[in-house]
Structures are given as structure tokens and as C-alpha cells.
Structure 1
Amino acid sequence: MPEGITRRALLAGAVGGVLGACRRPADARVLRVGCMGTLAHAPSLIGLHSGRFERALSARGVRVERAVFGAGPEVMASLLAGAIDVGCLGPVPAVTAYVRTRGRAVRVVSGAASGGAVLVVRRGAGIRCASDLRGRRIATPQLGNTNDLSLRAWLRSQGMDATEYGGEVSISPMKGSAMLAQMRRGMLDGAWVAEPWGARLVADAGAVVFIDERTLWPGGRFATAVLVMHRGYHAMARENVRLWVEVHSAEVARLREDRLRGMREANEALRAITGRGVAEGVLAQAWGRMEFTTDPLEETIAAMARVGMALGMVPRGSIEGLVGSV
């Protein structure tokens, strides 16, 4: 089977594969939460680590369970399969799931973060302009995630494409730890990633920032992470979701009112929840590229959807109603 068809099938399967399965029955006495170990998820990570989410829900007799994932498509697949009820993830998997389920399964109920995504390239690789990426190998966290779409869209805007579509740039989905190891060994030329991995690759693998994605968006703002709920759980336990969003909004407000305190708390939460914190210098670099907001930046989500559909990464369909309230 041609590689392009294989990768398209994988992309569809990240969400489509769980649509035919029965969603695990939800329980109104439990709220199961999914997030990722990236700084864009700081409101969720800090709220979980501090116990503020738990205290708000336990007052109603509701237990909070958490799961940490490596990339957004994993979060969305778990949400659709019923393993979690709410999740924080990039907007592209949310768009894909919404279109594939014709709006029946998920809804974005809040923004979480803007910015904090970069393309870094290996120092000494001779990459000084876009055309120098021809024949190179670039990593993203997962096929079909928001960083993956950003890389592919930018390549297309520069007159290039991925090798599976007959283009010149090899795109390899992999975990951040693999990016670090391969870039150190000269096996990887670059990576389009969320923070703190961009700053880590700069500090620990000798990479340099080639593109700060903020420069590609009007006003430098675009949705990096959003809060998504399963509509079935919301119908059964609306108050649980309302409380979750309320605490999430308070966490965003705390991050905005004292960024230095928020940076320290985010690192403590990362260390406690994922088992790995971020070095102080790396953290400061990464944190400086981010903004936390409850605004879902709906126009940028719509732009990502249009680009994803044009690239064949997102199924064609309406996203009207994707962003809503509880």
C-alpha cells in the first residue's frame, strides 16, 4: 500500500477508529480528565496538582480522575472512547472529531493558551531559509496534531510538501524525548513542537528557533490549547462540567495576574504529574512565548479547520457550533 494512503488511514483512525466503538458509560459521580505534559496545559496541570479542581468537585461528592497523554489525538481518542469526560488539547483534533461525529460528540467550552509553538532546527545543519528544508527530516509530536498541521501548512505556503505527498520534506511523528536524542545524534534536522520542548531542544540539543509561530498569525495570537467536553457527559452531569470550567477560568486568571508565580507553579505541577520538570533557564524561554486565556480564539480555530480541510488532514464539513458554553 502506498505510504500516503497508509498515513491518511492512520490520521483518520486516530479519531475515526473509536467512532464505531461503544463509549464507556459515564458516571456522574466521577469526572475523568485528560491533559498533556506541555506548558500550554498549565491551567489544568496546576489546578490538578494544587487540588483546587478536586476540592470544587468533591463538595458535590464527585471524584476527579486524571490521565496524562503525549499528544492531542490521543486525548481526543480517549474522550470519544469514554476513557475521559473532559480534556485539554490542541484545536485540530477537536475539529477533526467534531466534523467526523457531525457535532454530536464534543464541544470546545473554553480557551486555555495561545502561542508557545516553534519550529527549531539543528545548529550546523545549514538551514538558513525555507528552501534549505528540502531533503530534510522534521519531527512533530503526532500525525494529525496541531503542530503537525502547522508544519504541513507552512511547508505548503513555501511551495513544499511532505514526502508522502510527493514533496521534499520528510515528516516524522515522535515523542519529545526521541526528538532530543535524534537531534543530538544528527539524525533529525528540526521539529515543530509545543513548549517546553522547543526551549529544551534549543538548550539540550543545540537547536535554534527558526520560526516562532506567533509571527504567522495576525496579532501574534492563535489557539494552542482548548478545553473540550464530551456532550454525552455534559448532558448527564452539566453541573460537574460547569464547575470544572469555573475553576479552569480561575486558574487562567491566576496565571495572568502573576506570571512568575504561575511559571513556578506550572513547573512544580509538571514535575509532580509527569515526573519531569524543566530547567529554570529553559522554562523562562518557553514561558515567554506563551499567553494564557479563556478566549478560545475561535477565528484561528476556523482558520486551522480550513487549512486542514484543504490539506486533506481534516474531513470536510461544518464546524458551526464547535465552540460553545456550558
Structure 2
Amino acid sequence: MSNASPRPLKRRSVIAAAGAALAAAPVLAACGEDEDGAKAAADADASTASGTIRLGYFGNITHAPALVGLQAEVFKDALPAEVTIEETVFNAGPSAIEALFADAIDISYIGPNPAINGWAQSGGQALHIIAGSTSGGAGLVVKPDITEVEDLRGKALATPQLGNTQDVAARYWLKDQGFETDENGGGDVSVTPVDNAEVAAAFDDGTVEAAWAVEPRYSQLILKNGAVEFLNERELWEGGEFVTTHIIVSKTFLDAQPALVKAFIEAHVAALDYIEANPEEAQTASNDRIEALTDKRLDDDVIAAAFANLSFTADPLAASLQGSKDHAVEVGLLDDVDLKGIYALDALNQVLADRGETEVSAGDLA
């Protein structure tokens, strides 16, 4: 480190990394304490914050606010001098959830379905979503000879991981089209888990003929591997917006360090401002960070296309989280869980109000 879906679940493979830590996790707070922690963060003077924030994120363009915040030193400039960040980089959501439950991180950028998993497995006692980060950037790409929905029958379709956000989206859409799938790759369309790093090779060698991919693989497959966009997932959501990445905090940290939580939210919003005001510099900073983490750099045209397919927002897009949960339940990858209370947006809304900006809402999940 340096300064700077889910089920309460039927298949252990979906949450294997998080399972042991979740099982051992204590009940961290009662509902009244949760409300007190969220209100304390909203009322806190972030300028007085001091200490260390142990931050999790992925080395992926969908986590661009984190990449930019660290690489362009936006976080450093926005945070009080007495605050430091310790980074932990993850490759998958379950690992981040495991780390949060093991008290190895305090705050993390993460996708919607891992957050739902953590909430469900802990009975709503372990985490809160405190801000949105990224929307969009996913959908279905196919071989050029697939031109109609029926052409997918009998084909293999890659998703990054069983039960992850894109896997749920793919299975729900396929079901809506009348196709049957199962968790073992059977059915009318063989939904096949393929790691993001390997999906281009699988597409090239014919192992799969389609992929429900997320940026930057979505744009890479189109620009470098001859794929054709069949469906941008934005078309499936009201207003074209759905949560891809948001920020979670451990309840323990929220209760114990409200000023640090608010200070980080201010820094996160500053990173969003930087991306909006300096899109080309933000792309470069993101790519620089990815290269530092992976020793690989995205081609300029790929990262530009990925940024164009993403939007960055503090709004957590709560309605789409509810939708993702409902879709996971519908396709049999999640036992139903009540998400009411998962959001703690008090501090974010105070930051937005102080900036003269419109507050965001948790909607029915407040």
C-alpha cells in the first residue's frame, strides 16, 4: 500500500472470497446508531479531519474518479493536510467486501452487486453507500454475423463473473427475450464466465461469439477485435443512467470518523469536477494510473471511447440499484433482500448543498 450478485447465496462461487469474513462479522450497529453516524458525518467540519483513510478501488476505467483523484493528486489537494490515504487495489468486488468486513479498508469504490451482497450477507449491518461515482459503460457486443436476437440461440456469451453486475444484466435481458440460461453454461444461450483480461482472446478464437462487457473491454472489443455493438445497456434504463460504480463505507468507520468520511466525499466530488473540467487530462491520468498498477496502457482511442460511454456523477442512482437487485432475484442469483437503509447520503447532500447544488435522493431505499 502507498499513501497518496449475489445471494444470501445459493452458489458459494459467487461470494467465496467474502463468505468467511461475512460469517464472522459482528453486528456493528443498531438502526438508531446508523442514523446518528450519517447525521454526524453531515454535521462534521471536514476541514478539521485528521488521520488515515484506507481506500479500496479497482485499476479499471469505471473507477476513474479514484484513478484521477490519486494520480492527479486531486484527493491530496482537496483533503486536509493531516489526512493521508492508504490504497488497496482489488480485482473483484468480493475481495473488497472481504477486506471491508475484515477491517482492512474503510471506504471503497465498488460495483452495485457486491454492495448488495455485503448488505445482504451482513443483514444490513456492515456498510452504507455514501455516494455515486460512475454510470453506464456496459452492454452486449457480438460477432458481425449476429444481427438479430434469435441469432444468439446456441451461442456462447461471455460475462466477467457468475453473479456479477454484467452477468445479472445479461441473464435478465436474455430471459426477457425468451431464452433460458443456467449457472453452468447450459440453456438456449451459454452464458460463460470469462475474466475481463481474457475476453478479447476468447472472442478472437471463437470460444465466445458475444460478450456482455464493461468498459474498457466494451470499447476494446469493438475497436480492436471486430465486435459490433448489439445493445448499449443505457437503452434498458430510464433516462439512460444506471449505477456502475459507487462508494461504500464500513459502518464502523462512519460512526467513528464522521469528519474523515465527509472529507473524503468532498475530495471525491473534487475528482468529479476535475474529470468534467479536464476530460483529456483525466483520461491521461487514468491511463497513467492503470499503467502504474498493471504495467499495461490502454490505447488512446480505447480510453477515449470508454470515457464517452461513461458518465461520472455523485448521484448514486438508487432506482437502478433496486432494479439490479430485482433482476438478480428474477434470474435466481439472489434471494430477495430489503435494501431500505443501504444509503447514507446525509454527508454527500450537505457537501452538495454547501456548493449550491441539487441534493440527491435514495428514493424508496431511504
TM-score in terms of structure 1 length: 0.88
Q: Which residue of 1 aligns with 2:157?
A: 138
Q: 2:260 aligns with which of 240, 254, 257?
A: 240
> Match of 1:228, as an amino acid?
I
How far the C-alpha of 1:11 sits from its partner, in A, is 2.1
More displaced stretch, 276-285 vs 111-120: 276-285
> Match of 1:159, as an amino acid?
G
Q: Which residue of 1 aligns with 2:68?
A: 46
Q: Which residue of 2 aligns with 1:104?
A: 125
Task: Determine if the alignment matches structure 1 residue 156 to structure 2 residue 175.
Answer: yes
Distance of aligned partners of 1:139 and 1:87 in 2 relative to their CA distance in 1, 3 Å threshold: same
Task: Determine if the alignment matches structure 1 residue 209 to structure 2 residue 212.
Answer: no
> How does 1:176-255 map onto structure 2 within 5 Å?
176-255=196-275
How far the C-alpha of 1:304 sits from its partner, in A, is 1.1
Q: Is the 8 A contact 1:76 1:93 kept in 2?
A: yes
How far the C-alpha of 1:47 sits from its partner, in A, is 0.7
More displaced stretch, 157-166 vs 282-291: 157-166
TM-score in terms of structure 2 length: 0.79
Q: 1:93 aligns with which of 114, 124, 130?
A: 114
How far the C-alpha of 1:87 sits from its partner, in A, is 0.9
Q: Is the 8 A contact 1:122 1:205 kept in 2?
A: no
Tell me, in whole angstroms, the C-alpha distance in 1 between the residues paired with 2:226 and 2:59.
Answer: 22
Tell me, in whole angstroms, the C-alpha distance in 2 between the residues paired with 1:216 and 1:116.
Answer: 13
How far the C-alpha of 1:7 sits from its partner, in A, is 7.2
> How does 1:1-326 map onto structure 2 within 5 Å?
8-21=11-24, 29-54=51-76, 59-60=81-82, 62-123=83-144, 126-164=145-183, 167-325=187-345, 326=347
More displaced stretch, 239-248 vs 104-113: 239-248
How far the C-alpha of 1:174 sits from its partner, in A, is 2.6
Tell me, in whole angstroms, the C-alpha distance in 2 between the residues paired with 1:250 and 1:53.
Answer: 8
Tell me, in whole angstroms, the C-alpha distance in 1 between the residues paired with 2:160 and 2:210.
Answer: 12
> Match of 1:182, as an amino acid?
A
How far the C-alpha of 1:18 sits from its partner, in A, is 2.2
How far the C-alpha of 1:151 sits from its partner, in A, is 0.8
Distance of aligned partners of 1:132 and 1:192 in 2 relative to their CA distance in 1, 3 Å threshold: same
More displaced stretch, 48-57 vs 304-313: 48-57
Q: Is the 8 A contact 2:25 2:101 kept in 1?
A: no
Distance of aligned partners of 1:17 and 1:310 in 2 relative to their CA distance in 1, 3 Å threshold: farther
How far the C-alpha of 1:29 sits from its partner, in A, is 4.1
Equivalent position SS for 1:168: coil
Equivalent position SS for 2:183: helix
Tell me, in whole angstroms, the C-alpha distance in 1 between the residues paired with 2:310 and 2:22.
Answer: 34
Equivalent position SS for 2:178: coil
Tell me, in whole angstroms, the C-alpha distance in 2 between the residues paired with 1:17 and 1:159.
Answer: 37
Equivalent position SS for 1:193: strand
How far the C-alpha of 1:129 sits from its partner, in A, is 1.7
Identity %: 33
Tell me, in whole angstroms, the C-alpha distance in 2 between the residues paired with 1:57 and 1:250.
Answer: 10
Tell me, in whole angstroms, the C-alpha distance in 2 between the residues paired with 1:231 and 1:323.
Answer: 11
Unmatched tracts of structure 1, length 5 or more: 1-5
More displaced stretch, 140-149 vs 45-54: 45-54
Q: Which residue of 2 aligns with 1:3?
A: none
Tell me, in whole angstroms, the C-alpha distance in 2 between the residues paired with 1:73 and 1:209.
Answer: 29
Q: Is the 8 A contact 2:96 2:108 kept in 1?
A: yes
Tell me, in whole angstroms, the C-alpha distance in 1 between the residues paired with 2:328 and 2:24.
Answer: 25
Tell me, in whole angstroms, the C-alpha distance in 2 between the residues paired with 1:130 and 1:192.
Answer: 14
How far the C-alpha of 1:22 sits from its partner, in A, is 5.2
> Match of 1:200, as an amino acid?
Q
Q: Is the 8 A contact 1:47 1:248 kept in 2?
A: yes
Q: Is the 8 A contact 2:107 2:247 kept in 1?
A: yes
